[in-house]
Amino acid sequence: MEIDSVKSKDPLQLQQTINFLKSEIAKYQNEISTLQSVDHYSMVNSLEQELNQLINEKKELSVELMMLRKSFEKELSELHENIQLREEQRIKLISSIESLVEKKENLQKENKQLKETIEKTAKIESPAARSENYIQAVEELDHLLRSFLSSNNEQLISLHETINQQHNLLKEIKDKNDEIHSTLEEMVQVKEPEHKYSPTTDVQSITRINLENQLKNLFIQATSFETELEEKLRILDEFDDKLLLLAIEIEKHKKSDI
């Protein structure tokens, strides 16, 4: 509305114009207020939905964490049993090797005594054939013992190395076990606020994956070592068989020389 047009009107028309403008202003203010109210309501509704979603996610994560903890506790229990079994097998290996070493030393002593006895007997008895038979028997026994020790010395060394590897693996499994148990306790003690989102969820997820990978690697190592251990135990059984055959052979030589 132009100023000249307003000046040319009478007071009544001016009053009507003013009332009209006031009405328009009130209408626009009402529309603005309505828009603001609707916007705030939408925002509040959106925040409430987001909050409810976070609360539900927290509940789901709590349930998942509880199930994960039970699963880990079961696996840790099995791991403890596995460690105990490995320790018993390690002790058995040590005992078997000590027994082999003792048998080897006894065989060496017995061979030495046989050699001395045969040499003394050969000096006392004059027939050359008798002496030659004794000497030949000693040489055969000595060759038999040396052959046995030579062919199995590397395997004995390998058994010692296996025991050392087993001891190191057991220590590593125990350390990992303590680390996993400690991490699980930290995860269980975490308390998330219900009114806001926390990045702890992502940390828990990453930690869970790391723990699962660690457990998988440990079980792979344990399985691999179990196979190797069974092979070493088989070798020990072969040693026992060879020692038995050697003892029988020595006994035969004893009887044949009497």
The more confident residue out of 53 and 188 is 53
Residue 22's pLDDT band (cuts 50, 70, 90): confident
| Residue-level pLDDT at 2 | 45
Between residues 6 and 137, which one has the greater pLDDT? 137
The correct answer on CATH 1.10.3720.10 for the domain covering 62-257 is no
Q: How many C-beta neighbours within 10 Å does residue 114 have?
A: 19
pLDDT at residue 78, rounded to an integer: 84
Rounded CA separation 71/165 (Å): 29
Average pLDDT taken over every residue of the chain: 68
pLDDT of residue 51: 85
Q: For residue 8, give the 3-state DSSP assignment.
A: coil
Residue 128 has pLDDT above 60, yes or no: no
Q: Residue 205 pLDDT more than 70? A: no
Cα gap 120→134, rounded to integer Å = 10
| Predicted local distance difference test score (pLDDT) of residue 113 | 74
Report the percent of the chain where pLDDT is more than 70. 38
Q: In which band, very low, low, confident or very high, does the pLDDT at 124 lie, cut at 50, 70 and 90? A: low
Task: Give me the mean pLDDT over the 81-87 stretch.
Answer: 81
129 pLDDT exceeds 70?
Answer: no
What pLDDT shows up at residue 59?
87
Q: Domain extents for the chain? A: 62-257
> What is the 3-state secondary structure of 12-75?
HHHHHHHHHHHHHHHHHHHHHHHHHHHHHHHHHHHHHHHHHHHHHHHHHHHHHHHHHHHHHHHH
Phi, psi of 26, rounded to the nearest 5 degrees: -60, -40
**Which pLDDT score is estimated for 15?**
81
Is the per-residue pLDDT at 35 higher than 50? yes
pLDDT at 94: 78
pLDDT at residue 203 is higher than 60: no
Render pLDDT for 140-192 as a digit per residue (tens, 0 to 9): 666 666 666 666 666 666 666 766 666 676 666 666 666 666 666 665 555 44
